[in-house]
Amino acid sequence: MSTKRMGSAAPWLSEDEEVAWRAFRRMMIAVQAGVVHDLAASGLSEPDYEVLSTLVEAPEMTSTLHAQAQKMGWSRSRLSRHASRMEVRELIRRDPDPADGRGCLLVLAPLGLDALRGATAVHLESVRRRFADRLDARDLLDIVRISGKLAHAPESGLRHGGRE
C-alpha cells in the first residue's frame, strides 16, 4: 500500500517495493564493487575498461565522441574528460572528425588494445565468479527479462533454457 507523506508529491514505496529496491541496490553495488576491485589489479579502472571494451567493438576501433558517449550512457563532457586522461596514458587517441569540424574521433591505440587484452581475462573471471556462476539458466533469463523492462533493452543474448 503506498501512501503520500507530508512534503512528497510522489507516493512512498510499498513494503514489498522498498524491499525489492534495496535488494536490487545491494546486489548492484556488491557485484560492481567486486568487479572494480578485481579489475584494478590489471591497471585499468572500470571506466577505462568500459571505454576500451566498447571502442574495440566499433568499426576500425573508432567512434565519434558523441556516439561513444551515447553507447556508454555518459555525457559527452564526462567522456571527454576521461578520454583526455586515457590519451595521456596512450590508451586511446583523438583524431579530427571529418564529418564534424567541432567533434573528434576516439581511436583505440595499440597500448589500449594491449591493456584491454590483459584485463579481459581478469574481468571475465571476476564477472563469472561474482555473477554468472552464482545463477542458473532460469535466473539468467529472469535478469534479461527484468532488465528489458527497466532499461528498454532488447531481450536478446540468451536463448530459452540457457546460454547462447
Mean pLDDT of 12-38: 95
Please list the alpha-helical segments (H only) found in 2-64. Answer: 15-40, 46-55
State the Cα angle at 72 between 67 and 78, rounded to 5°: 85
More confident residue, 151 or 15: 15
pLDDT tens digit string along 105-126? 999 999 999 999 999 999 999 9
**Structural domain count of the chain:** 1
The closest of 65, 69, 67, 58 to 106, measured between CA atoms, is 65
The mean pLDDT value of the chain amounts to: 88
* Residues pairing with 70 in the sheet: none
Establish if 87 belongs to a structural domain.
yes
The answer to the question of residue 115 being in a domain is: yes
Cell of 140: 539468467
pLDDT at 2 (0 to 100): 47
Predicted model pTM: 0.77
Asked whether residue 104 is assigned to any structural domain, the reply reads yes
CA nearest 64: which of 80, 49, 44, 53? 80
Q: Which tens digit of pLDDT belongs to each residue from 44-73?
A: 999 999 999 999 999 999 999 999 999 888
For residue 1, what pLDDT band results from cuts at 50, 70 and 90? very low
Specify if 80 maps to a domain.
yes
State how far the Cα of 126 lies from the Cα of 142, in Å rounded to an integer.
21
Residue 73 lies in a domain: yes
On the question of pLDDT at 80 being above 50, the answer is yes
Per-residue pLDDT tens for 131-159?
999 999 999 999 999 999 988 745 455 54
Residue 111 belongs to domain spanning: 18-142
64 with 104: CB under 8 angstroms?
yes
Residue 44 lies in a domain: yes
96 inside domain? yes
pLDDT in tens, 26-48: 999 999 999 999 999 999 999 99
